[in-house]
Amino acid sequence: MTIAQYPQSEKSQSRRELEIAKSRSAFDNRIHLMALGDSDISWQVLGQIVRDWAGDTAQIAEVRPLDGGCINTTLCITTNRSDRAVLKISPHRVNREFEREAAHLKLIREVGLPAPKVYTQRTASLDAPHSYILMEFMDGVDLSQAKRQCSAEQFDALQEHLAEIVATLHSQRGQVYERIAHDEQKRFDDWPKFFHHIYDSIWHECEKAPHLPGKSRKQIARIHGKLDKYLAHGDQPRLVHWDIWSTNLLAKPDDDGKWKICAMLDPNCKFAHAEAEIAYMELFHTSTPAFLKGYQRHHKLTEDYHRCRKWIYQLYPMIDHVVLFGESYLKPLQQSLEHCASFA
């Protein structure tokens, strides 16, 4: 995608406005390339969002597309005053996910952890048919890029900082297991019942997949029927991000050159069993031994986690990925099942 950028050094404001006006047509064509279905994002819509945020005299100087999934368009917007923000927008769609994302980001910031500040959030209506969230631009690189730029010692230190952040998050306790700021507002005193609530429909969808081998189907069904036994634990509901992986973590060096996590992105917060989050991080290689050592200074991982629960907590995201992305995830799903074979 070509970046739409306008000159920053014109001699007069009138000439700047003329240049911007001449560029709008080309800009609109670029925006059409980011269309979602039959909807698109017009220059007028973006301009109004920017003016509502940065003031009536603010103008768009640059728009850069970011990765934002298949439903939303995600843009980095820079104004003529060099203000920057990230916009996620769903044109002509009532998207309440942005309401939840705003609530979750606020919650993480209230805990004292790094996350973008939300400037504004809107859910589509008849008068304003676009759902969007506009938030602070956070400078940094994702965890995978940080690893490539760090020495081994620097990355260990970065993992230790991540461990402190996740441990602080998990120190926040709830009274019940639940999704946070969710429409359904169902609450559970029992963790296995909440886990069933999250994953039952996903498993039943995967169960019907023609590419799922019969042996794997039977093995998952046996595990699914005994979750009450396998997932029993003595801990309390704890606040989790629920999607901590490389892309959802930004890092950068501080003033002393030490690498730090500077932002957690795209939370899907719940009060859940904290071990499920750790298993997810291990599954996608987000954490290292340095992380686990640092995390366990605060929250000890039990023998039952290593023997049993870890493998179940890693199996169900693979079930979800088979539903979402198809048979390319069958091999990792079957690898997870091999780990479960020792107890299920």
CA 229 to chain centre: 30
Place of tokens 């992305």: 325
Q: Which bin fits 242, alpha (ψ -120 to 50), beta or left (φ > 0)?
A: left
Angle ∠(68,69,72) on CA atoms, nearest 5: 70
Q: Do 35 and 130 belong together in one domain? A: yes
Structural domain total, the chain: 2
Q: Do 46 and 105 belong together in one domain? A: yes
Q: Do 103 and 237 belong together in one domain? A: no
Model pLDDT, residue 281: 98
Domain boundary among 76, 101, 136: 136
Residue 57 lies in domain: 4-136
Domain boundary among 136, 157, 189: 136
What are the structure tokens assigned to 260, written together? Answer: 């730090």
Q: Do 18 and 150 belong together in one domain? A: no
Angle ∠(285,290,293) on CA atoms, nearest 5: 110
Phi, psi of 141 (to 5 degrees): -120, 160
Angle ∠(157,158,162) on CA atoms, nearest 5: 115
Q: Do 82 and 209 belong together in one domain? A: no
Q: Do 165 and 280 belong together in one domain? A: yes
Q: How far apart are CA 308 and CA 230, in angstroms?
A: 7
CATH number at residue 324: 3.90.1200.10
Q: Do 154 and 124 belong together in one domain? A: no
Q: Cα dist. 105→66, 200, 232, 309 in Å?
A: 19, 27, 30, 28
Q: Cα dist. 323→144, 203, 211, 318 in Å?
A: 26, 8, 11, 9
Which of the residues in the chain have pLDDT under 50?
Answer: 1-39
Model pLDDT, residue 184: 76
pTM: 0.87
What are the structure tokens assigned to 9, written together? Answer: 């050094």
CATH number at residue 35: 3.30.200.20
Q: Do 184 and 215 belong together in one domain? A: yes
Task: Judge contact between 89 and 124, C-beta under 8 A.
Answer: no
Domain boundary among 88, 110, 136: 136
Sheet holding 60-66, edge to edge: 4-5, 60-66, 73-79, 84-91, 130-136, 118-122
Q: Do 132 and 9 belong together in one domain? A: yes
Q: How far apart are CA 36 and CA 39, in angstroms?
A: 5
Task: Judge contact between 62 and 83, C-beta under 8 A.
Answer: no
pLDDT digits (tens, 9 = 90+) for 247-285: 999 999 999 999 999 999 999 999 999 999 999 999 999
Q: Do 242 and 307 belong together in one domain? A: yes
Q: Do 60 and 160 belong together in one domain? A: no
Model pLDDT, residue 70: 56
Q: Do 80 and 145 belong together in one domain? A: no
Q: How far apart are CA 281 and CA 166, in angstroms?
A: 11
